[in-house]
């Protein structure tokens, strides 16, 4: 028990004194996950929306694949990315292994299917409502897609959050391709794993608390935003 | 062969020939034939399930029929003809945006066109005409039912259609709002916009119709000028409908 209380008080002192290492780790975590979410949104929104709106052969198959890929095991993604960017891999010459870029790539692959599959569901529901009206206005397909994405923006915010939650909390992919190198690729989850195994519970706990607070506050912000959007009938 | 894309050539006459529509084995529209050459208001009248909504959706091209069953001035229904028409639904489909953004949506021809003074002026004129200028910044879906339908009608008219199709636009509105909508339709008629109005409301048909297409059970029973139809309906079904008897 003594250990735990010491760990907790140490953790809080790290947080309140804004420990440099702690700040660095949090900063890298956020920048890697935000970047991954950004790229996933750029790919996933249009991909999901097009799958929802355009009738093409293989549409159902694509929808099923996207749904299935939502459950991709992070370590497997990490392994695949590792194989591609390791020295002997096809993109080895880019020297990406054990860099934040490699971590962003792995997380992007991990969460793009989540963003795309959830976007497809959201857009499909809205399209049911809008379809006849948009066809009546003779709106071309690219503008239909843009219109639906814009009008579903508040629901899509939840989708983005689901992706962000998955990215910031996963450890398997980033540890394989990032390597958990101090001051270079150490993020919150990999640091927690390492410090726990070393028995240094204070830093692990401090990071764990921050991770929880982050997750809670981002979700709370989204909840409030969505609530106000619903009140103005935009969601 | 006339080129209907040229704005100078009207969409009318509309010729409907042997128009049928079936889903599976069920025949929902049965061999409809009609020629409509007059501007003014054509009321498509009939009970629920008569096939009225289906008929106007086919006219507008939202549903596919036999290629040659519907011809606008000799040309089959396609994107070019649909662009010159507008449809107002019974339940208005409004974008999840402000009132003015709903109008902007149809005024904007391309996504990236800048909003110049002319554009703003045009938009505000539409809003004033619909009596919705004060509410322009409100979310469209928070308007009252009647205001929503007025917005939907204003938005449809903002596309400057030559043919305006309305599918029971006042079915769920009160008398005052119905009056506002009907007044706007009369103005549109005076601007020589051809109107197809689907309704089951006999009183409304009497107020607005120049000619009446009476449908029952997926068939066009009667198509006649309004005064003829209301004074001397030629079919038993139309007589029964006008007398308020139940039709099965």
Q: Average model confidence (pLDDT) for chain B?
A: 90
Can you give the length of chain B in residues? 248
Confidence of residue B110 (pLDDT cuts 50, 70, 90): low
CA–CA gap between residue A24 and residue A67 (Å, rounded) = 35
pLDDT at A200 over 80: yes
Query: Greatest CA separation found in chain B?
Result: 58
pLDDT tens, position by position, B41-54: 999 999 888 999 99
CATH of the domain at A74: 1.10.3720.10
pLDDT at A4 over 80: no
Q: Do A235 and B96 touch (CB under 8 A)?
A: yes
- Report the pLDDT averaged over residues A209-234: 82
CA–CA gap between residue A218 and residue B78 (Å, rounded) = 48
User: Nearest CA of chain A to the CA of B183: how many Å?
Assistant: 24
Domain with A103, as residue range(s), is: 2-231
pLDDT at B1 over 70: no
Inform me whether the C-beta atom of residue A143 falls under 8 Å from chain B C-beta atoms. yes
CA–CA gap between residue B186 and residue B49 (Å, rounded) = 27
Q: Average model confidence (pLDDT) for chain A?
A: 91
Q: Within 10 Å of residue B94's Cβ, how many Cβ atoms?
A: 24
Inform me whether the C-beta atom of residue B5 falls under 8 Å from chain A C-beta atoms. no
Closest Cβ opposite residue B159 in set A135, A137, A232 = A137
Confidence of residue A17 (pLDDT cuts 50, 70, 90): confident
How many percent of chain A have pLDDT more than 70?
98
CA–CA gap between residue A109 and residue A112 (Å, rounded) = 6
Q: Return the closest-CA partner of residue A149 out of A225, A34, A62, A42.
A: A42
Q: Considering only CB atoms, which chain B residues are within 8 Å of A129? A: 93
Confidence of residue A132 (pLDDT cuts 50, 70, 90): very high
- Contact partners, residue A71, CB within 8 Å, separation at least 6: none
CA–CA gap between residue A18 and residue A101 (Å, rounded) = 26
Q: Do B93 and A129 touch (CB under 8 A)?
A: yes
Inform me whether the C-beta atom of residue A222 falls under 8 Å from chain B C-beta atoms. no
Q: Which residues of A8-20 are buried (b: 16+ CB within 10 A; e: fewer)?
A: eebbeebbeeebe
pLDDT at A234 over 80: no
Confidence of residue B4 (pLDDT cuts 50, 70, 90): very low
Taking only residues 22 to 51 of chain B, the set having a beta carbon closer than 8 angstroms to any beta carbon of chain A reads none
- Report the pLDDT averaged over residues B76-80: 87
pLDDT at A3 over 80: no
Q: How high is the pLDDT of residue B113?
A: 66
Confidence of residue A235 (pLDDT cuts 50, 70, 90): low
Phi, psi at residue A36, to the nearest 5°?
Answer: -60, -45
- Cβ-Cβ pairs closer than 8 A, A with B, add up to 43
Q: Considering only CB atoms, which chain A residues are within 8 Å of B105? A: 137, 147
CB contact at 8 A, A209 and A217: no
pLDDT at A2 over 60: no
CB contact at 8 A, B16 and B65: no
DSSP state of B95: -
- Contact partners, residue B240, CB within 8 Å, separation at least 6: B246, B247
pLDDT tens, position by position, B195-214: 999 999 999 999 999 999 99
- Contact partners, residue B184, CB within 8 Å, separation at least 6: B130, B150, B153, B154, B157
Closest Cβ opposite residue B62 in set A130, A135, A235 = A135
Residue B199, strand partner residues = B45
CA–CA gap between residue B55 and residue B45 (Å, rounded) = 11
Q: How high is the pLDDT of residue B2?
A: 43
- Report the pLDDT averaged over residues A4-20: 84
pLDDT at A78 over 70: yes
CA–CA gap between residue B185 and residue B199 (Å, rounded) = 14
Q: How high is the pLDDT of residue B114?
A: 67
pLDDT at A60 over 50: yes
Domain residue ranges of chain B, discontinuous segments joined by +:
14-94+162-242
CB contact at 8 A, A10 and A202: yes
Confidence of residue A102 (pLDDT cuts 50, 70, 90): very high
As to burial, measured by CB atoms within 10 angstroms (0-12 exposed, 13-18 middle, 19+ buried), residue B46 is buried
In chain A the first and final C-alpha atoms are separated, in Å, by 48
Closest Cβ opposite residue B106 in set A135, A137, A233 = A137
Residue B13: cis peptide before it, omega within 30 degrees of 0: yes
CATH code at B14-94+162-242: 3.40.50.300
pTM of this structure: 0.87
pLDDT at B3 over 70: no
Q: What is the DSSP string of chain A?
A: -HHHHHHHHHHHHHHHTT-HHHHHHHHHHHHHHHHHHHHHHHHHHHHHHHHHH---TTHHHHHHHHHHHTT--HHHHHHHHHHHHSTTSTTGGG--TTSHHHHHHHHHHHHHHHHHHHHHHHHHHHHHHHHHHHHHTT--HHHHHHHHHHHTHHHHHHHHHHHHHHHHH--HHHHHHHTT-TTTT--HHHHHHHHHHHT-HHHHHHHHHHHHHHHHHHHHHHHHHHHHHHHTT--
Q: Do A151 and B142 touch (CB under 8 A)?
A: no
Q: Do A136 and B86 touch (CB under 8 A)?
A: yes
How many distinct structural domains can be found in chain A?
A: 1
Confidence of residue B6 (pLDDT cuts 50, 70, 90): very low
Q: Within 10 Å of residue B177's Cβ, how many Cβ atoms?
A: 18
Can you give the length of chain A in residues? 235
CB contact at 8 A, A85 and A177: yes
């Amino acid at each position: 028990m003594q250990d735990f209380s010491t760990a907790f008080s140490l953790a809080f002192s790290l947080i309140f004194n804004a420990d440099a290492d702690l700040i660095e780790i949090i900063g890298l975590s956020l920048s890697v996950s935000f970047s991954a979410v950004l790229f996933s949104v750029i790919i996933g929104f249009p991909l999901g929306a097009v799958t929802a709106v355009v009738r093409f052969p293989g549409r159902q198959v694509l929808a099923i694949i996207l749904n299935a890929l939502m459950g991709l095991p992070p370590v497997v993604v990490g392994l695949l990315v590792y194989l591609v960017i390791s020295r002997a891999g096809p993109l080895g010459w880019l020297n990406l292994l054990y860099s934040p870029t490699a971590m962003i790539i792995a997380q992007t692959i991990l969460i793009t299917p989540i963003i795309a599959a959830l976007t497809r569901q959201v857009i499909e529901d809205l399209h049911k409502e809008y379809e006849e009206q948009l066809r009546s206005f003779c709106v071309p397909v690219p503008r239909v897609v843009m219109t639906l994405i814009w009008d579903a923006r508040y629901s899509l915010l939840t989708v983005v959050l689901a992706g962000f939650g998955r990215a910031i909390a996963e450890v398997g992919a980033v540890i394989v391709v990032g390597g958990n190198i101090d001051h270079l690729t150490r993020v919150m989850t990999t640091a927690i794993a390492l410090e726990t195994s070393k028995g240094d519970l204070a830093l692990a706990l401090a990071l764990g608390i921050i991770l929880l607070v982050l997750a809670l506050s981002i979700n709370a912000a989204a909840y409030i935003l969505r609530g106000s959007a619903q009140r103005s009938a935009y969601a | 062969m006339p080129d209907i894309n040229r704005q100078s050539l009207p969409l009318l006459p509309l010729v409907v020939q042997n128009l049928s529509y079936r889903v599976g084995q069920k025949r929902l529209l049965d061999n409809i034939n009609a020629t409509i050459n007059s501007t003014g208001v054509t009321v498509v009248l009939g009970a629920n399930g008569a096939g009225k909504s289906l008929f106007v959706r086919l006219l507008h091209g939202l549903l596919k029929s036999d290629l040659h069953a519907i011809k606008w001035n000799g040309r089959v229904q396609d994107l070019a003809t649909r662009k010159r028409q507008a449809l107002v639904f019974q339940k208005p489909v409004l974008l999840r945006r402000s009132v003015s953004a709903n109008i902007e949506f149809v005024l904007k021809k391309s996504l990236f066109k800048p909003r110049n003074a002319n554009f703003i002026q045009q938009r505000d004129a539409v809003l004033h005409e619909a009596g919705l200028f004060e509410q322009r910044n409100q979310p469209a879906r928070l308007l009252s039912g009647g205001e929503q339908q007025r917005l939907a009608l204003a938005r449809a008219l903002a596309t400057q259609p030559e043919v305006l199709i309305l599918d029971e636009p006042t079915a769920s509105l009160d008398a005052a709002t119905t009056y506002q909508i009907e007044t706007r339709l009369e103005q549109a008629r005076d601007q020589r916009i051809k109107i197809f109005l689907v309704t089951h409301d006999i009183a409304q048909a009497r107020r607005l119709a120049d000619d009446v297409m009476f449908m029952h059970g997926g068939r066009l029973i009667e198509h006649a000028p309004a005064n003829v139809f209301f004074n001397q309906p030629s079919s038993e079904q139309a007589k029964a409908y006008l007398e308020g008897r139940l039709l099965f």
